[in-house]
Structure 1
Amino acid sequence: MFRKLLFVCGLSVLTLFANALELKEEALRSVFEPSFVTTEGEQKAGTAFVVKYKENYYAVTAHHLFSEAGGFSREYNWRELQGLVSKVSLQSLSDEKIKYSAGKAIEIKGAKSVSIWTGKNDIAVFKLKQKPDNYLTIAQLPPKVGESVWLYGLVYNRPPELLLHKAMILEYGKNWISYQFEDPGLNLNGTSGAAILNSKGEVVGINLSGGDQEGKLYGYGNPLVSIQSIFKQFVQ
């Protein structure tokens, strides 16, 4: 299937979200602009979200942000990430008063940037230092082809109060979740690391890249089965 990858991480961006009747952002309030204190200085890139796993809370984003795509001099591998990032600051995109912080990355063996072959290892996880007022949950069951999902994050060219962007599942497997956006005119820059949510507001994927073909806009991400496996193996 069409897989023209267009990396969509970015620096600070204006926010936007498509109208989604099934989900209400006011009930979610768990999407953030992350800022990373690193050995290369402070970098802002992509999007992050917060989930609860067991009794702790974690910020989740895309690993490929720690590369040229995220403003770094080169790509850092999973072994280097703990040494690269000393602190993460999370600014809520729902409420400017809400801010959280996290420390060094959880070591995830094999984490790496998305490629034309797979998106399943493109993930970075950081343990929060505070208990958040709102958080997302990781879904138990994967979405089905034809099911509606929502990208939860900022978009350049839509109103800043709109944080949910509706799409339809085209493919789901161990390497990919892919979806077609209802609004083909979205500018996806800055949405790498954003959560893909089902109609219950549960995480079923991590947005990694996108591209258009014949007037249609597609997105590609890290699928639920991979996220579940990584949390089970590496996150306490």
Structure 2
Amino acid sequence: MVAEPFTVDLNKPLVFQVGHLGEAYDKWVHQPILGKEGPRFFANDFCEFLTLTKWWVIPMVWLPVICFVVSVSFRRGLTPPQLAMAVAGGILLWTLLEYSLHRFLFHMKTTTYWANTLHYLLHGCHHKHPMDALRLVFPPPATAILSVPVWTLFRLLSPPSVAPALFGGVLLGYVMYDLTHYYLHHGKPSKGYTHDLKRHHMNHHYRIQSQGFGITSNLWDRVFGTFPSTNVAQKDR
């Protein structure tokens, strides 16, 4: 007797359901629900609270940290031009990290229960509910955990005076990313660079998920050949 395929109940907490979709998960998660109301993730209220973040929390939490770590490099002897170069280098590194995470981690194909569950928490929920305003930016506790290996790598590979400013640049790039991402979904740019970014990002969501991985910049999409084709981009003009 053939078992019935698993069906997600959208009226119940989703996180521990989606793993049961198995191989059907990838197709399900890329069929977006466009309502502005987000789903419930967990039955536990505290766990649920940790998944909800307003956009303004990101600069409020991380800009003071950025100022602090950059000031450490200044106290360790970097001149203002050197600080600016280190921070700019960190921002450039962030754009590559942003692209790489989005392309190779957030869009990896999963089929097992726990892989599906983790993918949904990291990025799948955003593709399923792209207008969920409280889950468009990354919760600060999760960002803090993920930043530890980045800081450790910089501390090991760069001089003590440079590492804090470089790390501050990466954090600043991250803040720019999260705020830009929120604006691309909820803002209404009418022309210019942000309009082009929004068009490319909406193409990524609703037309072709295998292209357009850059959010704050399309530099690495152009370098690695994943920039949306002219024919796809023209559809949203």
Give the TM bin, normalised by the shorter chain: under 0.3
| TM-score normalised by length of structure 2 | 0.23
